Amino acid sequence: MRTVPLRLRPTPGDQLLTHEEALQSPCDSCGPAPCCTTLQVEEFTMAHLEDLDYAKFLLGFDGIELVLLANGRWRVHFHAACRLLDATHRCTVHGTDAQPHICRDYDAYACSYRPLWVEGDETGAFRIDERRLAVLSAEIGFDRRRRIATLPPWEWMAETFAALGPAEVTSPERASSAMPPVRDPSAPAGGYGEATDAPTPGGAPAPTSRPRRAAAGSPGANGARPGVPAVERTGARRLSFLDPAVQDPCASCAAWCCTRLVFPIPAPERLAQLDFVRFSLGFPGVEVAIDEDGWALVLATRCRHLRGTRCSLYGTPERPLHCSSFSALGCRYPESFGDGGPRDGVRLGFDQLEALLELATVEGGSVQPPTVAALRRAGVGVGAGVGSQPACPAAAPS
């Protein structure tokens, strides 16, 4: 008989389990259920100064935390308790048809959530908050093209982050309750009228690129439509190009770019992708935006540097480049999130999930998601001619 030597490396302080004990579900002793209170929305690489700045930008928002993996990839997580949990963090739809397959099929015995968020084991990944990122940033070297040339070793990060203490995340409750009123003060009285297949261990399909800044509510678009002045898109009165309201559109805006994060996702073509949308909409503050160009997850959150509707870091070195280089004249946030909803698409929340799933057709393992036109005909979602109320509960005034 062949024998195989085992190289055991029990975690220090761990109590060894018997085989019978090891077969018991780890979920039974998990407690806070991080897999149901943490939604992974993106994964990206950090190769340039702009990538580092993007991380800084994201960490300014309530409920957002980053995770740095040992392979150099970065994950973006949104903290909010799934609406299907009860007060004891137990799933109220467990074992029923209402439970997403991503939850039913999750391998709890190989869980990556519990070691990191419950046990504080950062052996293979680091939780990154603003404090840790600031310290890490000071140790990164760049070439003249602002590409990242040197990074501190993993061992240095482990020692330094341990000295800083655990990563801190602003509570999801504050992120949901701190939302500004939905109505955009610059909107006319009638409203704007415009506006990888398999889940990763963290729960989200691995996106191919980071969110495009001007794509809020319009997943496939980037900036203004050619030849269509912003003032005409909003349906407001005609103004001179030199009018202050045209030259400084932020002056009367409701700061949608500071209260929404948009993450493009693939339009679901496979069952697992549609199930991930179903899973994501279970988290308060999450919508899916759909238009003719693509799909996106929209998070209703709030930048902690926002004061009223103005940035408290404006004009200072602390302001992210992501914000200071944003084109206000090409901004599409108001037409995507202002009164009346997006003109060319729809936004769907948890209340519209059942209708979305009913309108999607399946052939074999392939999915044909409903078109924007089909959703509009069915009166599903928020969009021009569909509805005027926000699909996302967290976006409503508290």
pLDDT along the chain (398 residues), means of 10: 57 78 90 92 96 97 96 96 92 94 94 92 95 97 97 96 93 45 31 30 40 38 32 59 80 89 96 96 95 90 93 94 89 82 88 95 94 91 53 36
Rounded (5°) CA angle 361-362-368:
55
Q: Is the Cβ–Cβ distance between 133 and 62 less than 8 Å?
A: no
What distance lies between CA 276 and its chain's CA centroid? 13
Per-residue confidence (pLDDT) for residue 236, from 0 to 100: 56
Per-residue confidence (pLDDT) for residue 383, from 0 to 100: 65
Per-residue confidence (pLDDT) for residue 365, from 0 to 100: 87
Which token pair is 94? 């467990």
Beta strands in 60-200 (DSSP E): 64-69, 73-79, 125-128, 141-142, 148-150
**Helix and strand element counts for the chain (H, E):** 14, 14
Counting beta carbons within 10 angstroms of the beta carbon of residue 313, is it exposed (0 to 12), middle (13 to 18) or buried (19 or more)? Answer: middle
- pTM for the predicted model, two decimal places: 0.80
Helix axes 49-58, 130-137, angle to 10 degrees: 160
Per-residue confidence (pLDDT) for residue 180, from 0 to 100: 35
Per-residue confidence (pLDDT) for residue 7, from 0 to 100: 54
Rounded to whole angstroms, the Cα distance separating 79 from 34 reads 9
Counting beta carbons within 10 angstroms of the beta carbon of residue 36, is it exposed (0 to 12), middle (13 to 18) or buried (19 or more)? Answer: buried
Per-residue confidence (pLDDT) for residue 231, from 0 to 100: 37
Rounded to whole angstroms, the Cα distance separating 280 from 116 reads 21
Which token pair is 287? 């919508």
Considering just the CA atoms, what is the radius of gyration of the chain in Å?
22
Rounded to whole angstroms, the Cα distance separating 281 from 301 reads 15
Q: Report the residue count for the chain.
A: 398
Per-residue confidence (pLDDT) for residue 182, from 0 to 100: 32
